[in-house]
């Protein structure tokens, strides 16, 4: 006989605490959506430059509709983001808040990341269907994903590329100064290669991505600036077709949503000359769910994975690893695809990602 399971007892205090927490969740979600809007419209930047103004005066300064601005400001005031003086009917963004909400604050601008909330909401109906069918999504289902991803990556990766990320490979900066061949697999918006091409004119850079529209603007900018050492190419890297031999391959947040991640890594390995290096940045979560519970970014990262990374891989016939495939899995995949030595680094400027250095 099996022991009788105890009858659950309803804990009123626990229920009230959860309800209170969820009121906070709803309010924080509202703040996130409005923060995305405020970032895109330049409202936080305007508040930082023009403190202590009325809504009418601020609207006149920046050329927006006062009524819409006033309602947006009400969200910010009641959320504790913006200070309000009822006597003067004026609004001020504290310096301590501006440090995390304005373009001048980059790479600490968290308003950039709030844009992912709206992107997730935009595919909610499609995700609802996929819960029934198990099908995936395609890149064209996402209106602004490439744009937002490029802006977010510009803060964590591009802004820190030369001073913090490249130095994890001893001697790499010196080799780039002398002149080597570099390929970025899954280059997205291409901002990393643009930054490197400007910084290291003796080296040659190529960015490859499935979607030409992802890097179109950057390619045009590079052409306008006359950067002869940078090119972009639309290419399905999952095909395994050779791209040539290079000294350094980079992949920034690109491996986990591939149709064939191991095939992708094999192509990286095959593209490296003897002595070549693969520098890979990916989400630094764990494949063991319980290890992610203390991570303050875990819900956000799993949300982005659910709405984009996992279904995009599934939509290509891939395994749907998701963004939280885990450092453990990444290290195993690199070893299984022929890399002789793999090092994993965590960098002080970046609490979200892990950086992998793999040698041939």
Q: Rounded mean pLDDT of the chain?
A: 94
Give the CA angle between residues 349, 159, 313 to the nearest 5°.
85
Of the three residues 42, 71, 103, the one that is the final residue of a domain is 103
Of the three residues 39, 73, 103, the one that is the final residue of a domain is 103
The distance of Cα 356 from the centroid of its chain, to the nearest Å, equals 17
Check which CATH number belongs to the domain holding 205 and give it: 3.40.50.150
Same domain, 234 and 268: yes
State the pTM of this model: 0.90
**pLDDT given for residue 2 in this prediction:** 59
Same domain, 65 and 138: no
On whether the CB atoms of residues 239 and 212 are closer than 8 A, the answer is no
Q: Which residues contact 307 (CB under 8 A, 6 or more apart)?
A: 119, 120, 123, 127
Domain hosting residue 18, numbered range: 12-103
Same domain, 279 and 242: yes
Q: Is residue 6 situated within a structural domain?
A: no
Same domain, 93 and 183: no
Same domain, 180 and 293: yes
Distances (CA, A) of 354 to 27, 140, 166, 187, 288: 31, 28, 13, 18, 16
Q: How many domains does the chain have?
A: 2
Same domain, 176 and 64: no
What is the average per-residue pLDDT within 174-182?
98
pLDDT band at 3 (very low <50, low <70, confident <90, very high): low
At which residue do the structure tokens 């956000």 appear? 300
Q: Is residue 220 situated within a structural domain?
A: yes
pLDDT band at 214 (very low <50, low <70, confident <90, very high): confident
User: Is residue 36 scored above 70 in pLDDT?
Assistant: yes
**pLDDT given for residue 1 in this prediction:** 46
Same domain, 148 and 243: yes
User: Is residue 110 scored above 60 in pLDDT?
Assistant: yes
What is the average per-residue pLDDT within 134-163?
89
Which pLDDT tens digit goes with each residue over 55-105? 999 999 999 999 999 999 999 999 999 999 999 999 999 999 999 999 998
Kind of pairing, strands 181-185 and 341-345? unpaired
Helix (H, G, I), strand (E, B) or coil at 10: coil
Produce one character per residue of 198-228: b if its CB has 16 or more CB atoms within 10 Å, e if not: eebeebbbbbbbbeeebbeebbeebeeeebe
Which pLDDT tens digit goes with each residue over 129-147? 999 999 999 888 888 888 8
Same domain, 23 and 168: no
Same domain, 192 and 46: no
pLDDT band at 185 (very low <50, low <70, confident <90, very high): very high
Same domain, 90 and 152: no
Same domain, 98 and 191: no
Q: Is residue 109 situated within a structural domain?
A: no
Distances (CA, A) of 248 to 264, 279, 359: 15, 7, 10
Which pLDDT tens digit goes with each residue over 215-231? 999 999 999 999 999 99
For residue 146 the two structure tokens come to 């490439």
> DSSP readout, 204-246?
EEEEEES-HHHHHHHHHHHHHTT-TTEEEEE--GGG------E
Same domain, 149 and 92: no
Q: Is residue 304 situated within a structural domain?
A: yes
Q: Is residue 2 situated within a structural domain?
A: no
Q: Is residue 161 situated within a structural domain?
A: yes
- Torsion of Cα atoms, 153 then 156 then 159 then 161, to 10°: -100
Which pLDDT tens digit goes with each residue over 228-246? 999 999 998 877 778 899 9
Q: Is residue 108 situated within a structural domain?
A: no
Of the three residues 49, 73, 103, the one that is the final residue of a domain is 103
Check which CATH number belongs to the domain holding 61 and give it: 1.10.10.10
């Amino acid at each position: 006989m099996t022991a009788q399971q105890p009858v659950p007892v309803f804990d009123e205090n626990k229920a009230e605490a959860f309800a209170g927490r969820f009121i906070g969740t709803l309010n924080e979600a509202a703040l996130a959506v409005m923060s995305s809007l405020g970032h895109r419209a330049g409202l936080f930047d305007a508040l930082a430059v023009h403190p202590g103004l009325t809504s009418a005066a601020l609207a006149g300064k920046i050329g927006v509709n006062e009524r819409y601005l006033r309602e947006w400001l009400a969200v910010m005031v009641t959320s504790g983001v913006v200070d309000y003086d009822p006597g003067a009917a004026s609004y001020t963004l504290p310096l301590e808040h501006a440090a995390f909400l304005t373009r001048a604050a980059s790479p600490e601008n968290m308003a950039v990341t709030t844009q992912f909330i709206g992107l997730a909401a935009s595919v909610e109906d499609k995700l609802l269907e996929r819960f029934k069918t198990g099908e995936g999504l395609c890149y064209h289902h996402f209106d602004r994903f490439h744009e937002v991803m490029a802006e977010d990556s510009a803060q964590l990766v591009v802004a820190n590329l030369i001073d913090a990320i490249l130095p994890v490979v001893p001697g790499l900066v010196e080799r780039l100064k002398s002149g080597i061949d570099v390929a970025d697999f899954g280059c997205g918006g291409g901002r990393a290669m643009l930054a490197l091409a400007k910084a290291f004119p003796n080296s040659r850079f190529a960015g490859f991505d499935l979607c030409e529209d992802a890097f179109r603007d950057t390619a045009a900018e590079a052409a306008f600036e006359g950067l002869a050492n940078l090119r972009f190419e639309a290419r399905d890297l999952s095909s395994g077709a050779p791209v040539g031999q290079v000294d350094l391959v980079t992949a920034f947040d690109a491996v986990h949503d591939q149709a064939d991640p191991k095939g992708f890594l094999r192509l990286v390995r095959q593209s490296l000359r003897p002595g070549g290096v693969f520098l890979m940045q990916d989400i630094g979560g764990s494949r063991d769910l319980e290890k992610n519970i203390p991570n303050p970014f875990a819900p956000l990262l799993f949300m982005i994975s659910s709405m984009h990374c996992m279904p995009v891989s599934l939509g290509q016939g891939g395994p749907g690893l998701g963004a939280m495939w885990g450092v453990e899995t990444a290290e195993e995949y690199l070893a299984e695809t022929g890399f002789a030595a793999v090092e994993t680094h965590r960098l002080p400027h970046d609490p979200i990602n892990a950086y992998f250095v793999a040698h041939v």
